[in-house]
Amino acid sequence: MRVLYPALLTIVIVITCAAASLAHSLEEVDQDLRAKEKYFQAVDVEAPAFALQDAAGRTISLSDLRGKVVVLNFVYTNCPDVCPLHAERIAELQTLINQTPMKEMVEFVTITTDPKHDRGPVLREYGQAHGLDPVNWIFLTAAPEQPEDSTRNIAGSYGLKFTESEEGMQMHGTVTHVIDQDGRLRARFHGLKFEPVNLVVFVNALTNRTQKPHGHPEPGLWESLKGLIQ
């Protein structure tokens, strides 16, 4: 898949800049992904709220991000295995999206489930180490006065359980959440094996906010992409 990234960048740019000819409704994209992407789960519920601190100590809440599509994930920096891979997948998605006009419409948010350790410089260094661009990515942790398990509880409200062991490690699943401009959770991409371009196409549908499907037969966005890749 990595060898296709330069081509995919071009494809995504073409799609987002030629909305008149390729823009499809969210409903159509949803149907395409249900058929093509087995790690995709469509959702339509109010996203659980949060108010946390960034590396500089500023409070950021989900409501502050209204008007943007939010790509949200949960990690902790001492995680030895899946979390670094998840961070790198988020960086890949950010690279794809930031090569398009969607850059101004999308915010990437990572929340740590180990706020006791993950503060200030640790948050900044993690992003730098994994290629995340702070222009539209923030790493959030609990404020000092918040309970230590507060971010694990937030993860739980999104359907993810982080169970801490006596050794300080956490057992957990891996999910990338997509929240729309109105603060509604619209999709979960499970694990790390989903095709990055599928999430980009879904985000593109949200940024276009084209709600009505076309009245005439036309290939879906995935078919358009697939035809260009092959």
Rounded distance between C-alpha atoms, residue 164 and residue 7, angstroms: 41
Tens digit of pLDDT for each residue in 140-189?
999 999 999 999 999 999 999 999 887 778 989 999 999 999 999 999 99
Rounded distance between C-alpha atoms, residue 215 and residue 119, angstroms: 51
Rounded distance between C-alpha atoms, residue 154 and residue 143, angstroms: 14
Residue 4 has pLDDT above 80, yes or no: no
Amino acid found at 184? R
Residues contacting 92, CB < 8 A, separation 6+: 5, 196
Paired residues of 73 in beta bridges: 110
Residues contacting 171, CB < 8 A, separation 6+: 162, 163, 165
**Mind giving me the DSSP string for the chain?**
-GGGHHHHHHHHHHHHH-HHHH---HHHHHHHHHHH-TTEEEEEEEPPP-EEE-TTS-EEEGGGGTTSEEEEEEE-TT-SSHHHHHHHHHHHHHHHHHTSGGGGTEEEEEEES-TTT--HHHHHHHHHHTT--TTSEEEEB--TTS-TTHHHHHHHHTT---EE-TTS-EE---EEEEE-TTSEEEEEEESS-S-HHHHHHHHHHHHHT--SPPSS----HHHHHHHHH-
Tens digit of pLDDT for each residue in 87-111?
999 999 999 999 999 999 999 999 9
Q: Which residue ranges make up each domain of the chain?
A: 39-195
Asked if 98 and 12 count as a contact pair (C-beta separation under 8 A), the reply is: no
Rounded distance between C-alpha atoms, residue 209 and residue 98, angstroms: 19
Give the residue-averaged pLDDT of 75-96: 96
**What whole-number percentage of the chain has pLDDT above 70?**
80
Asked if 115 and 141 count as a contact pair (C-beta separation under 8 A), the reply is: yes
Q: State which CATH number among 3.90.180.10, 3.90.1150.10, 3.40.30.10, 3.40.228.10 fits the domain covering 39-195.
A: 3.40.30.10
Rounded distance between C-alpha atoms, residue 209 and residue 197, angstroms: 18
Instruction: Tell me the Cα Rg of the chain.
Output: 18
Q: What is the pLDDT of residue 166?
A: 73
Query: For the ranges 106-110, 126-130, 160-164, 217-221, which has the lowest average pLDDT?
Result: 217-221
Q: What is the pLDDT of residue 167?
A: 76
